[in-house]
Amino acid sequence: MFTWSDDFSVQIPIIDEQHKKLFEIGNNIYYLYNHFQYDELTTHIKDLLGELERYTKYHFRTEEDLMIRFHYPDISEHIKEHRKFIDYLDSIDLYENTYDQAEYILGLLQFISSWIFKHINYSDFKYSDFLVKAIEQEGNL
């Protein structure tokens, strides 16, 4: 489960709101995994993974626009991580493993949740101080 707490805050409200939304989509996927019948699982999870990908792209654009605007020095490294994750989401094929699909989907969910946690806690936290200061100096977003 994805549980938001202030420990995840990067101190930039628009980004925190988007991270909360990503957690919410993640929770919806877990809910489906735990509550739907197997034959319904793939279709619903496919829809939610689509939603996750669309929202993740939107969120990454927001972060990258801020980094460009305020000349964040580690932007290239950060964008590389974003692209890698989008490529991963693009590559998911829920019908790839028909032998033990529930197990396969659980593996995907575990990878996605751990990637999001790690990315926010490490890479997003790295820009936090820099961008918070830059935004304060400019006076607004």
Query: Any contact of residue 119 with ligand FEO (CB under 6 A)?
Result: yes
Residue with token string 């997003």: 124
Question: Binding of ligand FEO at residue 52 (CB under 6 A)?
Answer: no
Contact criterion met (CB below 8 Å) for 12 and 135: yes
Euclidean distance between CA atoms 55 and 63, whole angstroms: 12
**Segment near ligand FEO (CB under 6 A); pick from 1-9, 56-64, 92-100, 131-139:** 56-64
Binding mask 64-83 for ligand FEO (x = CB under 6 A): --------------x---x-
CB 133 within 8 A of CB 15: no
Considering beta carbons, is residue 63 or 112 the nearer one to ligand FEO?
Answer: 63
Three-class DSSP category at 8: helix
For position 26 contacting ligand FEO by CB under 6 A, the verdict is no
Q: What is the DSSP letter of 70?
A: T
124 lines the binding site for ligand FEO (CB under 6 A): yes
Give the number of residues in contact with ligand FEO, rule: CB under 6 A.
10
- For residue 140, which phi and psi values (nearest 5 degrees)? -165, 180
Q: Could you list the residues that contact ligand FEO (CB under 6 A)?
A: 19, 59-60, 63, 78, 82, 119-120, 123-124
